Amino acid sequence: MKAVMKVDKNPGIKVMNTDKPKPGPRDVLVRIKSTAYCGSDLHLYKWDGQAEKWNSPLPRILGHEFCGDVVEVGGNVSSIKTGDKVAGETHIPCEQCIMCRTGRAHICENMKIFGVHVPDGSFAEFAVIPETIAFKLPSDTPYDIGALYEPCGVAMHAVQRAEPEPGDVAVVLGCGPIGIYVQQIMKAIGSDVIATDIKKFRIDHAKRVGAAREVIDASEGNTVEKVKNVIGQRGADIVFEAAGAGETVKQSLDMVAKAGKVVLFGASPDNPTLDTTTYIVYKEIDVRGLTGRYMFSTWDRVERFVSRGLVDLESVVTHKFPLDKAEEGFQLLLKGEASKVILNP
Amino acid sequence: MKAVMKVDKNPGIKVMNTDKPKPGPRDVLVRIKSTAYCGSDLHLYKWDGQAEKWNSPLPRILGHEFCGDVVEVGGNVSSIKTGDKVAGETHIPCEQCIMCRTGRAHICENMKIFGVHVPDGSFAEFAVIPETIAFKLPSDTPYDIGALYEPCGVAMHAVQRAEPEPGDVAVVLGCGPIGIYVQQIMKAIGSDVIATDIKKFRIDHAKRVGAAREVIDASEGNTVEKVKNVIGQRGADIVFEAAGAGETVKQSLDMVAKAGKVVLFGASPDNPTLDTTTYIVYKEIDVRGLTGRYMFSTWDRVERFVSRGLVDLESVVTHKFPLDKAEEGFQLLLKGEASKVILNP
Amino acid sequence: MKAVMKVDKNPGIKVMNTDKPKPGPRDVLVRIKSTAYCGSDLHLYKWDGQAEKWNSPLPRILGHEFCGDVVEVGGNVSSIKTGDKVAGETHIPCEQCIMCRTGRAHICENMKIFGVHVPDGSFAEFAVIPETIAFKLPSDTPYDIGALYEPCGVAMHAVQRAEPEPGDVAVVLGCGPIGIYVQQIMKAIGSDVIATDIKKFRIDHAKRVGAAREVIDASEGNTVEKVKNVIGQRGADIVFEAAGAGETVKQSLDMVAKAGKVVLFGASPDNPTLDTTTYIVYKEIDVRGLTGRYMFSTWDRVERFVSRGLVDLESVVTHKFPLDKAEEGFQLLLKGEASKVILNP
Amino acid sequence: MKAVMKVDKNPGIKVMNTDKPKPGPRDVLVRIKSTAYCGSDLHLYKWDGQAEKWNSPLPRILGHEFCGDVVEVGGNVSSIKTGDKVAGETHIPCEQCIMCRTGRAHICENMKIFGVHVPDGSFAEFAVIPETIAFKLPSDTPYDIGALYEPCGVAMHAVQRAEPEPGDVAVVLGCGPIGIYVQQIMKAIGSDVIATDIKKFRIDHAKRVGAAREVIDASEGNTVEKVKNVIGQRGADIVFEAAGAGETVKQSLDMVAKAGKVVLFGASPDNPTLDTTTYIVYKEIDVRGLTGRYMFSTWDRVERFVSRGLVDLESVVTHKFPLDKAEEGFQLLLKGEASKVILNP
């Protein structure tokens, strides 16, 4: 089968033929119909410090956000059958640690990441996944929508962690695909939403498809002041840090209201120096981190939002390519000229 | 009447005679029977950067933790009467801002601090307080116990913010009076408690009166490792940062378990640089700040704990003096040779 | 001044002249511009068993939902001034009991009800209210909107008690004014909403102005089955009992999903016999009661919803009359031919 | 092997020889060392209406609370190995329904009950259980303690559902084994605990091993008044209904404080008629049902309590017998002359 592979630690990828994988007794084999690029695929493409840290085995097939049809199931699989349309949870839990045994498998202590530790990802015609991470979709789900449940799940999880109250004022720092989903979800639950970003492409994209009342250009400084000019000096009930930068973590503590909540889920390469006393102690705020998605209550909520039209998953997609043109997708993302890019094998 | 006063910005205090204060229409006049030193009194004694920042009016009477008997009430006072035994909430709310109007008066947007902004504190024979901050104590409460409701309230508030679950493992960083109260409260609710400090006096004191299973000397480094050797590599369900230092804020993020809670209430003079991605995002923790006490649900819970013997307020008191010897109390505290010091006018 | 009065225990009211009331030192005098009928006014009109139970002093002015302008303030009033536009909380707290002192003044242990225990209600040209229950409205609030903050507050409080999650399925039993507000609020926060009622007038009204996807006629039985045919056999995440009947309390337990929430706030004249084992224990549900509004966090949230257009307060108003025609309003309500009726003095 | 069997619908049991069971691919075979009687075993012994309703297949081995050693594992078992000491969760989840997929497997929509639907229970020398319900115990756990994790888990789950706050006042209605565990757990977390029962044996037993400050005889009426005389007229912060009777459900609503919580987990044969308006709406309380245990966060908490000595599981055991004398255990329980009875095969 055809696959987008990382063969060595040099920058770049190769589209090449490789063996079709075989499912183990508790695995399912999926014919991939749609698969989307995530930031981690870019790290692996460039093979930067982050990739080095993951130490993923090479050669490997990239990709982990996907949707497809189950074409074969292992002998001990009970919940999935051939013909099911599935998306996949990226985090593979061990099912035995204290986290897995107490309802928090998504932060398993022995977590494996599909497409990172497991060498065969989803940028291919077929992929094998453990039954435990398969999420069965309604049969009429378009494949490109199904492939976006996973990134939308991060946004939904952020909202779940925020425990919003009716009528909250929310600021979303960052207008990448997940930031935009957070904006759409918060708008759908009645919040007043303001967004910021520093890149023109993302600001323009958010203005078109995001759900913020205002999208503020944060590239020229005074971001906290600009946001407070829009929402009032009290600050925001909830600030979502979706940009993944030390600077935006700092801003989030500053622009949140007393007794407010800051939700962190962007992976920041730099560590911020924070005035925890002024902003966390005296303002009595909550800072809540999150990663991944609850298995599978977050997925369930994404399904509800998609089926009722409360979120528009496809709105963040700016480009679609066949596997052969995977390189083009990487180039657009590296240049910051795309939001979400999809491959249709 | 006699009072312990700060007359100018030079270090030190003066015990001198001054006019007995008169209550306004919504105030009560309290004959002070017991009043305790807080860290903020030390800042004012030394008149350091923190004191400069508060910009308290001078001359002034120090002190804000107290207990006494009401000897006169203003014309519009309805909930307190002459003869009532009262302690006082330090934070004076405006009763009109959004925080005051939505159940969070303790973080009022126009907060005044008794003994900081209000020039007549409690290190005196009498003090005037607004009715709004008077907390009526059971009539059989010993005065020295009543004076310690306020600092114990910070500890109780920290526990309230932590929302502990049955059987939690808790680490308390810092063995000052409030740290010791947190240890006692957490022990009383069934938690496994470990404490740390860097000062020999405090470590020894905590071993005598604290409620920790183990008190770890953090002065020689590897504190996180030492703590995990006692509680296990998973880490703590809750870490209380009661030391007020950038270093302990950092440790708290490191030693908390996945999905755990870090509770910040120490005022730290230095701002820590934090790896928020590794510790907050990927471990999916909550960092919760707090200041003061809920008015008055925290006080109500302190009363329950005191009346049932679940906390020993007097255990942290190492010295008691009359007003005349106030200087001695300051000297002991500055040298780190006392835990809680009480003045009995 | 002119007022709608209950003079004795015979059915009916009288519109007559009476003295303009005078505010005490902590009261404000309000020129009433709009005031709405509540169910309790009907009990007093008819003087039925409920009225007898309240034992309200007679003669008295009816009414407690209102909006108007402050024209005079007592000497000790600090938060309200002449010219302010205000609505009023119906529940007058004592400010001293354990409930009042721990943030739950709305269920004060010594509660007085404006218009029930306090003899001068709002169906008049002027009314006196304690400063403690005055809620200052944005100055551009239309008076008829301001008068409806109080009933909408019950709906908002019900939603606050329900702690809805994103994408919940909610059923609202009852399409009176508060039931309709609950439907509008739940829709505004992204829920799927189904409503029921047994009266044709209310069903038709809900179809016009409510926000339910479907309004089910419950007058012919099999209500639970009918609702489940629409929302699925799993049942509802949240059921709001807004009808105030033993039968609907029973239905709510039956149609809620496992681990779901039933929110009770209708006052039911009959006591239901409930299979608590099957429905509460084995389905592991929460049944949550509520009355009135949080003071004033519920009001704050209503203000947010009104100002952002998330709820349409006026949509439930079917009739408006001057004080002279108060009798007409009572007749329409008694015949079930009106939803919300407003008097404009 | 020897087993305690129910062979037909006549009252009684038979101790007889039967085939040792064989584990399927995802099962484990346990050598039973200790197994305890539960109320459901009594229903099956008598074959009353409840037994008829369950419609359990006959012949069958009774029992489901147990502890033993794993002596064989199926081919696809990954988390348990031969030699492990295990207890067993009674509720066997389907792993596929919405409840199972969203963290609430303990109220699975297709639940099977071990020892009820599964014909081979634990009153035998060996039992087969699915890997999914095996809970691995610390290897030094005494077998009789391990067999009591399951009933103690119901008590722990009740406490988890109650979400107690520090210093709560709790009333426990019912002094059977689970009621006594609730008392011990609540005491261990600092609550003031009062208990009631109507049977002399249970009252005496609770006085010896329970943790209530006072055990009230409820057999002579005025129970609510008697309880309030001890805890104060405000009522209890939390009432646990552990008696399983319509009358105690009624009492629980009456004796709980405003804004308090009533926790229901006793299976009541009679349906109470409740004044929901006075007690749930106007007092603004929460009624929370629960059944079984969270899988496995409740078990994890029981383990913490047992290992730290915060609960004394063996304190409720009044009798121990070998399998041959199983009839004696049934007789004692039927006569109300035993609390927890254990069989040691």
Kindly tell me if the per-residue pLDDT of D92 is higher than 90: yes
The answer to whether the Cβ–Cβ distance between A297 and D96 falls below 8 Å is: no
Q: Residue D56: its pLDDT value, please?
A: 82
pLDDT digit string, tens, across residues B154-179: 999 999 999 999 999 999 999 999 99
Instruction: Name the minimum distance, in Å, from the CA of A288 to any CA of chain B.
Output: 5
The answer to whether the Cβ–Cβ distance between D275 and C271 falls below 8 Å is: yes
Name the closest residue on chain D to residue C241, using Cα atoms.
Answer: D281
Q: Which residues of chain B have a CB within 8 Å of the CB of C98?
A: 300
Q: Which residues of chain B have a CB within 8 Å of the CB of D167?
A: 301, 304-305, 308, 310
Which of C104, C274, C290 is opposite residue D281, by nearest beta carbon? C290
Q: Which residues of chain A have a CB within 8 Å of the CB of D78?
A: 95-96
Identify whether the C-beta of residue D260 lies closer than 8 Å to the C-beta of residue D281: no
Report CA-CA distances (Å) from A56 to A7, A9, A22, A66, A117: 11, 10, 21, 20, 6
Residue among D197, D195, D198, D199 nearest D184 (CA): D195
Q: Residue A56: its pLDDT value, please?
A: 82
Q: Which residues of chain C have pLDDT under 50?
A: none
Q: Residue D317: its pLDDT value, please?
A: 98
Q: Which residues contact A329 (CB under 8 A, 6 or more apart)?
A: A37, A319, A321, A338, A341, A343
Can you tell me the distance from the alpha carbon of D90 to that of D168, in angstroms, rounded to the nearest whole number? 31
Q: Residue C56: its pLDDT value, please?
A: 82
Name the closest residue on chain B to residue D184, using Cα atoms.
Answer: B190
Q: Which residues of B touch C (CB under 8 A)?
A: 25-26, 76, 78-79, 95-96, 98, 101-103, 294-297, 300
Identify whether the C-beta of residue D81 lies closer than 8 Å to the C-beta of residue D70: yes
All CATH 3.40.50.720 domain ranges of chain D, comma separated, are 154-289
pLDDT digit string, tens, across residues D192-224: 999 999 999 999 999 999 899 999 999 999 999
Q: What is the mean pLDDT of residues B11-31?
A: 96
pLDDT digit string, tens, across residues D16-49: 999 999 999 999 999 999 999 999 999 999 999 8
The CATH number given to A154-289 is: 3.40.50.720
Q: Residue D307: its pLDDT value, please?
A: 97
- What are all long-range contacts of A222-228, with beta carbons under 8 Å and residues at least 24 apart? A223/A196, A223/A251, A223/A255, A224/A251, A224/A254, A224/A255, A226/A196, A227/A171, A227/A194, A227/A196, A227/A255, A228/A255
The answer to whether the Cβ–Cβ distance between A98 and D25 falls below 8 Å is: no
Subunits next to D (3 or more Cβ pairs <8 Å) are A, B, C
Q: Residue B53: its pLDDT value, please?
A: 84
Q: Which residues contact A97 (CB under 8 A, 6 or more apart)?
A: A108, A109, A110
Q: Sign of the CA dihedral B151, B156, B162, B165?
A: positive
The answer to whether the Cβ–Cβ distance between A291 and B285 falls below 8 Å is: no
State whether CATH 3.90.180.10 applies to domain A2-147+312-343.
Answer: yes
Subunits next to C (3 or more Cβ pairs <8 Å) are A, B, D
The answer to whether the Cβ–Cβ distance between C296 and B102 falls below 8 Å is: yes
Among C247, C280, C294, the residue to mutate for chain D (most D Cβ within 10 A): C280
Q: Which residues of chain D have a CB within 8 Å of the CB of C104?
A: 258-259, 284
Report CA-CA distances (Å) from B317 to A142, B149, B213, B313: 69, 13, 21, 8
Instruction: Name the minimum distance, in Å, from the CA of A101 to any CA of chain D.
Output: 5
Name the closest residue on chain A to residue B245, using Cα atoms.
Answer: A277
Give one DSSP letter per residue of C287-313, joined into a string.
Answer: EEE--S--TTHHHHHHHHHHHTTSS-G
Can you tell me the distance from the alpha carbon of D62 to that of B313, in angstroms, rounded to the nearest whole number? 54
Which of A76, A102, A296 is opposite residue D296, by nearest beta carbon? A102
ipTM score: 0.97
Name the closest residue on chain A to residue C302, using Cα atoms.
Answer: A167
Q: Which residues of chain C have a CB within 8 Å of the CB of D290?
A: 281, 284
The confidence band for B49, taking pLDDT boundaries of 50, 70 and 90, is confident
The answer to whether the Cβ–Cβ distance between D271 and C273 falls below 8 Å is: yes
Q: What is the mean pLDDT of residues D254-279?
A: 96
The answer to whether the Cβ–Cβ distance between C76 and B79 falls below 8 Å is: no
Return the structure tokens found at A217: 């250009």
Q: What is the mean pLDDT of residues B271-293?
A: 97
- What is the DSSP code (8-state) at residue A169? E
pLDDT digit string, tens, across residues C167-214: 999 999 999 999 999 999 999 999 999 999 999 999 999 999 989 999
pLDDT digit string, tens, across residues C80-104: 999 999 999 999 999 999 999 999 9
User: Which of A206-215, B54-63, C273-282, D197-206 is least confident?
Assistant: B54-63
Q: Residue B71: its pLDDT value, please?
A: 98
Q: Which residues contact D52 (CB under 8 A, 6 or more apart)?
A: none
CA C57 vs. chain centroid, Å, equals 23
pLDDT digit string, tens, across residues A191-205: 999 999 999 999 999
All CATH 3.90.180.10 domain ranges of chain D, comma separated, are 2-147+312-343
pLDDT digit string, tens, across residues B102-151: 999 999 999 999 987 887 999 999 999 999 999 999 999 999 999 999 99
The answer to whether the Cβ–Cβ distance between C286 and D285 falls below 8 Å is: no
Q: Residue C52: its pLDDT value, please?
A: 87
CA B272 vs. chain centroid, Å, equals 22
pLDDT digit string, tens, across residues B231-252: 999 999 999 999 999 999 999 9
Can you tell me the distance from the alpha carbon of C149 to that of D13, in angstroms, rounded to the nearest whole number? 66
Q: Residue A193: its pLDDT value, please?
A: 98
A·D CB contacts under 8 A: 36
Q: What is the mean pLDDT of residues B208-223?
A: 95
**Does pTM top 0.90 for this prediction?**
yes
Q: What is the mean pLDDT of residues D97-101?
A: 94
pLDDT digit string, tens, across residues A277-327: 999 999 999 999 999 999 999 999 999 999 999 999 999 999 999 999 999
Q: Residue A210: its pLDDT value, please?
A: 84
Q: Residue B116: its pLDDT value, please?
A: 79
The answer to whether the Cβ–Cβ distance between A290 and B267 falls below 8 Å is: no
Q: Residue D52: its pLDDT value, please?
A: 87
The answer to whether the Cβ–Cβ distance between C103 and B25 falls below 8 Å is: no
Q: Which residues pair with B126 in a beta bridge?
A: B31
Which of B99, B109, B275 is opposite residue A271, by nearest beta carbon? B275
The amino acid at A56: S
Q: Are strands B2-6 and B60-61 parallel, antiparallel or unpaired?
A: antiparallel
Q: Residue D258: its pLDDT value, please?
A: 98
Q: Which residues of D touch A (CB under 8 A)?
A: 25-26, 76, 78-79, 95-96, 98, 101-103, 294-297, 300
- Collapsing DSSP to helix, strand or coil, B3 comes out as strand
Instruction: Name the minimum distance, in Å, from the CA of C260 to any CA of chain D.
Output: 10
Q: Residue D117: its pLDDT value, please?
A: 82
User: Which of A39-48, A255-264, D245-254 is least confident?
Assistant: A39-48
Torsion of CA A105, A111, A115, A121, to 10 degrees: -60
pLDDT digit string, tens, across residues D128-177: 999 999 999 999 999 999 999 999 999 999 999 999 999 999 999 999 99
Task: Work out the mean pLDDT of chain D and round it to a whole number.
Answer: 96
Buried b (16+ CB within 10 A) or exposed e, D179-200: bbbbbbbbbbbbbbbbbbbbbe
Instruction: Name the minimum distance, in Å, from the CA of D320 to any CA of chain C.
Output: 31
pLDDT digit string, tens, across residues C137-174: 999 999 999 999 999 999 999 999 999 999 999 999 99
